Amino acid sequence: MDGEEVLIDARPAWSAYSIHLLVAVLVFVGGLAAGDEAVIAGFLVAGLIGGYVFYQRRKVRYVVTDRRMMKLTGISSKASNEAWMLDVRGLQTGASLIERLLGHGHIVVSTDILSSGFGRFQGMTFGGISNYEEVAAVIRERQNEQKM
């Protein structure tokens, strides 16, 4: 929008797809070890998995401006999920053990005071963010400025 300043424009970290990439490498190495025809099959399957990861990562963007947060998805068709800074009531950050080992985490933004779903926080999720604590700090700072 006019006059809006983009503070963060990020995509999920490559490490968020580490299991997929590990499987692609194992399939490729398995094809090499198996012999002639398996090399081609291993290469093709590993290439398909790599292409899938590239597509999945490329189709998601997390944008934080001075006024709102947006999760933009899609390449050929597009969709967005956004929340105005003034409407944000809750912010949760976290990283599972695997996420911490891989160097990324997630942020969940809620526009409801009360979360639903048996204590689980419901809202817009920014997943696989490599600098999730810094992104959360920017959101908190902008929230504070908007609510004063």
Q: Which residue has the higher pLDDT, 125 or 147?
A: 125
Q: Is 122 helix (H, G, I), strand (E, B) or coil?
A: coil
CATH number for 6-12+64-147: choose from 2.60.200, 3.30.1120, 2.30.29, 3.30.70.
Answer: 2.30.29
Q: Which residue has the higher pLDDT, 96 or 145?
A: 96
- The mean predicted confidence, pLDDT, of the chain is 87
DSSP E strands in 36-110: the ranges are: 60-65, 68-73, 79-84, 90-94, 105-110
Residue ranges covered by each domain of the chain: 6-12+64-147, 15-56
Q: Residue 98, CB half-sphere, CA atoms under 13 Å: how many?
A: 6
pLDDT band at 113 (very low <50, low <70, confident <90, very high): low
Lowest mean pLDDT among 52-61, 89-98, 105-114, 119-128: 119-128
- Is the pLDDT at 116 greater than 60? The verdict is no
Q: Which residue has the higher pLDDT, 146 or 125?
A: 125
CA distances from 28 to 33, 48, 52 (A): 9, 11, 15
- Is the pLDDT at 19 greater than 60? The verdict is yes
- The average pLDDT across 50-65 equals 94
Q: How far apart are CA 72 and CA 12, in angstroms?
A: 12
